[in-house]
Copies of this chain bind each other. A is one copy, B any other.
Amino acid sequence: MNTFGKFFRLTTFGESHGKAIGGIIDGCPAGLKLDFDQIQSELDRRKPGQSKIVTQRKESDTVQFLSGLLEGTTTGAPIGFMIPNENQHSKDYEHLKDVFRPSHADFTYYKKYGLRDVSGGGRSSARETANWVVGGAVAKQFLKNIEINAFVSSVGDLFLEKPYQSLDFSKIESNIVRCPDDETAEKMIQKIQEVRKAGDTIGGTVTCVIRNVPVGLGEPVFDKLHSELGRAMLSINAVKGFEYGSGFCGAKMRGSEHNDIFNPDGSTKTNLSGGIQGGISNGMDIYFRVAFKPVSTIMQKQQTINTKGESVEMQGRGRHDPCVVPRAVPIVEAMAAMVLADFVLMDRISRM
């Protein structure tokens, strides 16, 4: 249950309070020359402490590769990797030992497994997503020409109103909120700082656009390209919703408005389909939107209960994100990359 993917597979382990987290990438074909700086730079995009609007926890998140490589090229053998934990403040969690934090996984884990792994939230810690970024970074290199770009499209009720086609994706990394529109980015940053000062947190959305996808990825029935993308996104901590192409807006439309009319070359004049028809890519841009709830740990007093079922008061401590979407951007891209890598491999066996 800790394996993602069918062909390009990532199996992971680790909690934030142990010695290390890590994983095994299995199924990456032999002969792929890896750019390790690129992998580390993806981790750097996700790591804590990178800007004033994210958690101030410090982790260098340096990945070590342990196997599966010969002079930097994949051998077809499983790629084992490890990211040491440097910042294990178990004390930060001591006050939580007997308390169930509201809207966290504390209560459900305890009931499921019969024990509390308090420090850092056990496997529910978002630290796990560093493993995913490693898997995704390898997948991106495997995908070569396929371009995956995610960006922050809303923070609270502040929306980036422009169509993605008008955006310059090279600007995503130019600001700390990862929104490729300077004006909106500035407002988002202010909003997040304001929320943080109030000891509160705020939700947001991430939009992802995938270009240069070959026609034919995805399976017709249970492994539709979009159902696997949706599942991947819904695996990310704090995600509450997923829509692709016309999404929830499409549910308000009529067929005569919604149909994408073909050009003679097989491309379509519009792209409400979001690059996927019948579960299979049609060569147009794939785009989707992911909704993230506000982080549950707030720096305000809240009523809650302890393990004995007694009502107690608690207040968040430690270093937490006031808004997850800026750091979620590389995670969304990583999960998308692993899904696509899986389907690229899967497609190799669809014809004689």
Q: Give me the interface of A with B, judged by CB distance under 8 Å.
A: 1-4, 7, 9, 11-15, 18-24, 26-27, 29-32, 64, 66-68, 70, 73, 75-80, 82, 100, 102-105, 107-109, 111-115, 117, 122-124, 128, 142, 154, 156-157, 195, 200-205, 215-216, 218-224, 226-228, 230-232, 234-235, 240-248, 250-266, 268, 272-274, 276-282, 291-298, 300, 302-305, 309-311, 345-352
Contact B258 A294 (CB under 8 A): yes
Q: How far is the CA of A351 from the CA of B124 in the complex (A)?
A: 18
Contact B250 A215 (CB under 8 A): no
The residue that A294 contacts in the complex, of B231, B243, B255, with Cβ under 8 A, is B255
Q: How far is the CA of A105 from the CA of B260 in the complex (A)?
A: 12
CB distance from A220 to the nearest CB of B (A): 4
Q: How far is the CA of A310 from the CA of B263 in the complex (A)?
A: 9
Q: How far is the CA of A311 from the CA of B114 in the complex (A)?
A: 46
Q: How far is the CA of A29 from the CA of B352 in the complex (A)?
A: 5
Contact B15 A67 (CB under 8 A): yes
**Copy number in this complex?**
4
Q: How far is the CA of A293 from the CA of B259 in the complex (A)?
A: 10
Given contacts A128-B221, A230-B231, contact A24 B21 (CB under 8 A): no
For A102, list chain B residues within 8 Å (CB): 259-262, 268
Given A111-B266, A222-B235, A235-B279, 8 additional A-B pairs, CB 8 A = A18-B66, A30-B114, A202-B255, A250-B291, A250-B294, A253-B293, A255-B294, A255-B298
